[in-house]
Structure 1
Amino acid sequence: MAFRKLKRMGSVAHGALLGNDSEVPYQKPRKFPAWKVSVFYGIGVAAFVLATNIVVLAWAKATLPLDNGIAIAYTSSCKTSRSVTVWVDLAINILSTLLLAASNNCAQILSSPTRADIARAHGRMKWLDIGVPSVRNLRIIPVWRSSLWILLFASSIPLHLMYNSSIFSSRQSHNYNAFVVTEDFPNIDISHASGWISGPILQTAKLQRNFSGLVRMSNAECLRSYTQSQFLTDWHNLLIITNAKLPSGNAIANTYSGNWTTTSGAPDWPCAGFKTTIDAFRFEPEQHFLADSFGVSSMFGLVNKTLDSARTELTACDVSNLINNGPSWTLALASHYNVTGRLKAAEVQYCLAEAADRSCSILINTTLVWVVILCNAIKILCMVTTTCIRDFVPLVNIGDAIESFLTQPEQDTARLGPISASDAWKGRPAHRKHVEITRTVRVGRSRANVASRARWTVCIIICIALVVIGLGLVISGSDEKRVWTFATFNPNNLVRFSLELSVTANVILANAPQLAISFAYIFYNNIMTCMVMAGEFAKFAYRRKPLRVSRPKGQQRSTFWLSLPYKYSVPMLSASALLHWLVARSLFFVQIEVRDPHGDPVASAENTGNDDYSAGFTGCAYSPGAALAALALWIAFITTLIFYSVKRLHPGIPVAASCSRALSAASHCPRTDMDAATLPLQYGIFAEEDDGTLYEKVGFSSGSVEPHNRCLPYYQYRSGPQRSKAVTETHLLSRYSGRDEHMGRWIAPSDQSQLLNPQQSARYTSARRELEEDFRQRLGPYGGSSQASSVQIQDEVELMPIYSPLAEGSGQNNAYPLNHFVIVNGQRVFNYR
């Protein structure tokens, strides 16, 4: 709610709670109130998002092949597909942010109280929120409004959990065979190879004769490319060239399958050296080789009673050491398939790798799109219903509330005097006072005190949880096996346990942070709105401004937002969309399509994991770079909130925040100021005559006011016509409990004879001095001022309010009460609570 002029004729509306000065032209009445216009805009945004989703769904069903509700929308190189996926995700997050902003706008309007709701709440000694999203109001507002609010809220949850995963990417993972061959392999005719090589392996081996299509790698490059991930996406079958000496005509010494891994998830074939093979298997010459004992050729399997434990010992293989010692990489081989003698060492010279088909696909989950469309339609229905209800006049901002209370003042709050939101939150009554206070330095309360402790607590808990999650993703990216990526998929960054989950579970896992961020943003926006409203409300104390209301009259102003002006709401929405996109690229849903060594799809039954798709499996992957960017942006969110919360408010007006009772108590004006609500207003002390006596009051006025920098008597109002009467009659001590200040204990009414009376002049004078000194200590000096406050107390004083707006601006913790004790007819009394 910044102070900006409303420029007509094509310019945007002003961003102020109030106008800019008193010389404001009268506003032409609008056909619709501003809140209804904002809902119309929201309906337009929601309809655009709905139309976009319907077009995507219709295109997928009409033109794309479907397999269990999954449509392949685009297939290209992985580099191109990654770029398309990033932009598609950005578009989804922009659309979802706009849709959720429109939904939250309508939900806030539905929860905004009408004047009848406020009267009902105040009659129950409760208060309602005005100008901020509120849950507490749902207990008071009519059922139809609370039902629409619940529908809007409930329809947002599936959007958060599913929208980002409705369009996702697919990547191929290649099973492969690794062939250990001799250096003369290119020149050997393998058409008559030994029979131990199966047909498919022999067929694959023949393909490797095409050396022109193979990529030569050093030992370290070979190990790094084939062992960094269990899922191979860039390479296919492999030739391992060794210096092995085989019988004439034999060129293939061994074959390994990339399907078999150690318990750590790395392939086991690089570990087929003497240390990890002979020692681990406790090799003995009389033992026999057993074909396929490890899913590979007979040249590798060993069988004895310790076979299972031997397989476990493969975890001892340190691939990183092999990479560092690449030039001395050796494999343990036998000279012939039926030899029962000892293994021989074969030194690896280099590798020849077959480049894989690096194509990726963008898929559309039509089932999730259906869910998104349904939630979208529910939101539009709720918005349309909101605009069609007659006789619904919500007080959507504090300008509406002040106008309503000035036009039809509440008699009960007129007797309270100016109270703060904290008084209403804690249920404190505001009694009467007649103490004059002047001070040289006045310090306002920080804006952090405006929002309730519950709002701050929930917001802080969610913020800390999100920071911890972000740090976890960033730290996990520092693992040497992980690949530092930004917003892209790498098989090394798969969330392993997600591969065993169903599609639905993976979708929820990938989008759970989105839901958490949305909840945090709701509380963040709520707190920011409270602080901005309090800042603009405080400006009434020193600037004369017209009210900003939903349906302007006279010199009132109108805007199409609720409580946050564009200079706050637009950056917050933009940053929110960016944050949601970064989070979507930090942890995202992927599908992995498995290909066999021949390049054919592998049926899902052959894979570990779930069988939701005809081939491959699903899981979640994360990007440490995107997680770091999201974490930095979220910390910037938190830092902005903290810096704004420490700013202090102008102390000349109670901190009403969004509290309806505090706003009602502050919104009183002179009886002769009939059109005050339509004119520029200022808060302060004004004089009003009653029965020939001139009294000073605190409230709003379109006329001249004195700054509210001193305490005044509070007044009662009789029922019927509004007339003021100063409370000067003696209050019976039986209505109060006394307190022996020196003994620190409560005094029952029967013991009030212990209290002072004017006849005990010496003790009475001493008590008067003690009281004045106590006030000086409580009220001054302020802000480092060395000059104490001046306190004057009459012999007969009225009961003082438990908390004064001046005391709240003291900057002291908990705003120490002014009326810790007072003197009534010479007796020292503690107010009854």
Structure 2
Amino acid sequence: MPHEKDHLSVHRFNGTVTLAQRVEPSSTGSSRPTTSKSSEGVRAATAAEAGHLTDGSAISSQEPPPSRRGRKGFTVHWPFQTQSVATDTLSIFTNNAPALFRRATWNPPKPDDLESTVTSPRDSTLIPDYVVNFIRGETPETVARRKQNGGAKGLRAVDITHQHRPQRSHMALLEGASGGGFSRQHDDGYMHSNSTATSTTTELQQILPGNEKPGKGWRSLSSGWKSGVMLNLALILAILIAGFVCLVIAETKIAFTLGYLDVFTGSCLTARNIDWGLHALINVLVVVFIVGANYIFQVLSSPKRSEISAAHESQKWLEIGVPSVRNFRHIGRGRAALAMGLLALAVATQVIYNSIIFVSETGFDYQLIAVKSSFITGSDFSISNENNNANLTRNELLNIQGLAEQNELTKLSVPACISTFSAAFNNEYQNILFVLSSSSSSDDSLIATFRAGLNASSMSDLSTHTSTTSTQILIDGSPVSFCLAQAILPSNGSCTVNLNGTLFIIVLALNILSLLVTACVLFLPRFVPLVTLGDAIASFLSGPDPATRANPLLSKANLTTGLGGWGFTEGKYWAPTRSPRYLRTASRTQWVIMAVWLFATVALAISALAVTLASQIIDSPVLTAFGTASAHTTYWVPSETPIAALSVAVAIPQVLLAGLYFSVNGLLTTFFLTRESASYAVSPKGTAWQPLRVSAEPVGHQTTSLFLTLPRPISWALAIWFAAMGFVLSQACFVVALTSASEPEMSLLGIGLSGLALVVLLGMLVVLAAVVAGFSLVKVRSAAMADGRALGNPLAFEGGSCSAALSARCHRVPEEAEVWWGKVAWGVVETGQEADGSESVIRHVTYSTKEVKELDGAHQYV
């Protein structure tokens, strides 16, 4: 006679099936008795085939062939203990299927024999798993798709456990199974159990073809956060290839590896336009590195679930969904080093890229001509060696005199004239007439000529004849009344756009390092980060965090003050007094860091603008154009200074823009993290169930996206704005290299400042600050209250992202085992104790696929 509790037994087999032995009921997955007639018939048939089954008796004298699994032992929790899908479909199969399709080791008796077979509640036989799957109407492919997000057990350790759920046909079970998991069944609230959700990866790897194995191959790299890393990798590779092509082309023209390549030589206007275009392109490429580094930094700094659990055990919390340096204390050191290294490479790339292009200008030697007022009316003049130090010919002087008579010369005030000729170089005028206010008895209208500029060999002679103050010029004691200047035509100037070969090689090396580090991120072992809000919610719903149990309204303030924080389980009231603004969702540290970067950038721009204005001694200071050197806004350095070092020094302010980008991006990311979280709460318009947006391998209704937290339009707009600011900064502070037209070996090096570019940069910084401040004043979407008010939002982060506060809101009810697969909303849910209609002062709030209600200030929540 069978044991009275045989229906609770588990049959454990070792190697070839020769012995069956009962174990304690605690080893099984169910204690419910079986009543299916068809299942009893199957057991009877099995007993007839094996001989008889008693406690400790042998099952059969004929050994079946060795198991195809190859492992010495496994445990099978029989699925045929209740009226389950497998039981009912099995009876149909055994009653109607021809013996031709049955396994040789399993020969059920004919239906006529089933009635006479002695059955017991527990007698069973070893059913191959592929037969069970076939009975359910499944194929290896559908099994693989259904289980592709499974857990640790493999095909060699199959655990078929009875599911405590209503009877359903296999067609109903397969409904919605596509592309990664079963969809949520909203009609009757049926949920798949954890054992289904955690079925094996090893099994899938054996069933699936090589190109369909989960988490392997192209599919795992073409979705979620890995697709973003792949995109960054492709962009870096494209930039690197383009750089090498440019290097090869340059080498074919001139051996410039340790020197300079003349990209263009010609008109200064054309050279300036080329310089603008190249710097605009450079700053677009730079933004690719900066944005990509920030993206990967957020991925690498995102914690794994095990790291969060370890932190919570020590009563520490981490940041989820935002780039975080704070997490470095709790994540792997290797990931932290990769993240910081990639940021450093991106910033270095931005600086070096903005250093490789500069414009050298041929300095114009100009002449200073002291004349009487009669000279400009056509009076005669004479030339001698004593009064013609500039070595001008008579025809040149007559040409200048003719221009003066025709009013084609520019009239300058005395202060403007002083500002022009006292500068180290002049790129605006080629001849300047000093018109004296007094006249002598001599009929000669020409007093003297002098050479000025880089090749100012006669400037010493000029100094012996002139004396200047801030208001007047005296030549041989006679004051200058005004000046007339002949402007330089744009076509007359000569400029060269130069490419620094040494720095270009360095930037290519930085690109290679960035490429390698980015590629390493794709192949980090056992790296499953919780990157997005959806990742964290799904993780905490599938495995509730014991550290925040029964404390669903836990806040970051509770953790910092110690009131109602770790270990608090008495329930809390939700009674908001206001709706928070995004200003409060970011931490104070984030605001301080952003303010420091912004203040440093603005202060530098204002200081540079003040210097440029103060250096001009004329009455109405002029803002110099983008990237244009001016005599009084250029600050000279020793001519022996390496131009590569000077170029890098000039580009150092780009670091401020990089730091400002990272801080502003982190701030906006926190805003949108709160925005996404708050959208799951019950709104005044009603409950809106939404799928979880995960960073990789979505299942059920889950979705994935290329962006992590900050939406693409915001991220792109921010990137474009900073690319524009990088270009403006490159034109506001630049290298000035001048050579003499008559003596090319004479040169000057300096740092030029553009007043107009500095003003534009300041305006862009003000606009950026205004946009961030304006967004921070927007109110977070309010949640609906039970009394009809729309006030506050329990899902809004205050003081920054907090893993503990997030996990506290994700303690699902037991009735919903796989809630994270469906479209969810957050609110008050009914538990088993409340379903009978009884009122409870303490209620439960969590995410659910079912109906959720508004929070009531009169109730406590756990």
Aligned to 1:53, the other structure's residue is in SS state: helix
Partner of 2:396: 208
Query: Paired residue for 1:619?
Result: 751
Counterpart secondary structure, 1:233: coil
Aligned to 1:301: 464
Residue 681 of structure 1 aligns to which amino acid in structure 2?
Answer: V
Q: Distance in 2 between matches of 1:317 and 1:260?
A: 23
Q: Which amino acid aligns with 1:470?
A: A
Which of these residues, 524, 537, 549, is aligned with residue 694 of structure 2?
Answer: 549
Q: Distance in 2 between matches of 1:48 and 1:382?
A: 16
Which of 823, 827, 839 aligns to 1:684? It is 827
Number of the residue aligned with 1:658: 801
Alignment check: 8 A CA contact 1:158 1:371 kept: no
User: Which residue is equivalent to 2:745?
Assistant: 603
Tell which deviates more after alignment, 563-572 or 156-165: 156-165
- In structure 2, C-alpha distance between the alignment counterparts of 1:685 and 1:513, rounded to whole Å: 53
Counterpart of 1:172 in structure 2 is: 362
Kept after mapping to 2: 8 A contact 1:171/1:233 = no
The 5-angstrom pairing of residues 42-81 of structure 1 reads 42-64=232-254, 66=256, 69-81=259-271
Asked whether the 8 Å contact 1:214–1:353 carries over to 2, the reply is: no
CA contact (8 A) 2:360 2:736 kept: yes
Residue number in structure 2 paired with 1:40: 230
Residue equivalent to 1:579: 725
CA–CA distance in structure 2, aligned partners of residues 164 and 142 of structure 1: 34
Distance 1:558 1:346, change over 3 A: closer
Q: How far did 1:47 drift?
A: 1.4
Aligned partner of 1:517: which letter? Answer: L
TM-score normalised per structure 1: 0.65
Q: Structure 1 residues 174 and 484, CA, compared in 2 at 3 Å: closer, same or farther?
A: same
Matches within 5 A, 1:370-409: 370-409=505-544
For the structure 1 residues 505 and 246, does the alpha-carbon distance in structure 2 shift closer, same or farther, using more than 3 Å as the test?
farther
Q: Is 2:601 aligned against 1:443?
A: no
Partner of 2:117: none
Alpha-carbon distance between aligned partners in 2 of 1:315 and 1:346, rounded to the nearest angstrom: 9
Is 2:289 the counterpart of 1:99?
A: yes
DSSP-derived class of the 1:689 partner: coil
TM-score scaled by structure 2? 0.63
CA contact (8 A) 1:181 1:241 kept: yes
Q: Mean Cα displacement is larger for which, 77-86 or 394-403?
A: 77-86
User: How far is 1:417 from its partner?
Assistant: 3.2
Cα separation, 2, equivalents of 1:589 and 1:710: 62
Q: Residue 628 in 1 paired to residue 759 in 2?
A: yes
Q: Secondary structure at the match of 1:698?
A: strand
Is 1:563 the counterpart of 2:689? The answer is: no
1:146 aligned partner? 336
Equivalent residue of 2:847, what SS?
A: strand
Question: Contact 1:27–1:557 at 8 Å: present in 2 too?
Answer: no
Distance 1:431 1:399 in 2: 25
CA contact (8 A) 1:25 1:555 kept: no
Within the candidate set 448, 469, 474, 1:316 is matched to: 469
Q: Which residue of 2 aligns with 1:220?
A: 411
Q: Which amino acid aligns with 1:705?
A: V
Asked whether 1:135 is paired with 2:325, we answer yes
Q: Deviations over 1:401-445 (max 9, x none)?
A: 111111111212114332123333555525657688686x85322
**CA contact under 8 A between 1:26 and 1:556: conserved in structure 2?**
no
Q: Deviations over 1:508-535 (max 9, x none)?
A: 4532332112211211111111111112
Match of 1:639 in 2: 770
Q: Secondary structure at the match of 1:496?
A: strand
SS of structure 1 residue aligned to 2:475: strand
Give, as a single letter, the amino acid of the residue that structure 2 aligns with 1:600. S
Tell me, what secondary structure is at the counterpart of 2:324? Answer: coil
For the residue of structure 1 that corresponds to 2:652, the secondary structure is helix
**Shift in Å, 1:701:** 1.4
2:517 counterpart SS class: helix
Q: CA 1:239–1:85 in structure 2 vs 1: closer, same or farther (change >3 Å)?
A: same
| 8 Å contact kept, 1:434–1:711 | no
**Identity value in percent:** 22
In structure 1, how many angstroms separate the alpha carbons of the residues matched to 2:573 and 2:524?
50
Moved more, 202-211 or 566-575: 202-211
Distance in 1 (alpha carbons) for counterparts of 2:453 and 2:396:
19
Match of 1:540 in 2: 680
The CA distance in 2 between the partners of 1:361 and 1:212, in whole Å, is 29
Confirm whether residue 483 of structure 1 aligns to residue 622 of structure 2: yes
Give the direction of change, closer, same or farther, for the CA distance of 1:115–1:509 in structure 2 (3 Å limit): same
**In angstroms, what is the RMSD of aligned CA positions?**
3.8
- Find the counterpart in structure 1 of residue 118 from structure 2: none
After superposition, what is the alpha-carbon deviation per residue over 1:320-355, rounded to whole angstroms, capped at 9, x for unaligned?
Answer: xx6xxxxxxx732xxxxxxxxxx7x59889757584
| Residue 531 of structure 1: aligned partner | 671
Give the deviation of 1:177 after TM superposition: 4.0
Work out whether residues 652 and 709 of structure 1, in 8 Å CA contact, stay in contact via their aligned partners in 2. Answer: no
SS of the residue aligned with 2:832? strand
User: What's the secondary structure of 2:450's corresponding residue?
Assistant: strand
Partner Cα separation in structure 1 for residue 447 and residue 572 of structure 2 = 103
User: How far, CA to CA, are the matches of 2:571 and 2:541 in structure 1?
Assistant: 27
Unaligned runs of 5+ in 1: 1-23, 262-266, 268-291, 303-310, 323-329, 333-342, 605-614, 716-833
Match of 1:518 in 2: 658
| Cα separation, 2, equivalents of 1:483 and 1:231 | 17
Residues 203 and 477 of structure 1, relative CA distance in 2, 3 Å threshold: closer
Amino acid at match of 1:659: C
The DSSP-based 3-state class of the residue aligned with 1:620 is strand
* Letter of the 2:226 counterpart: K
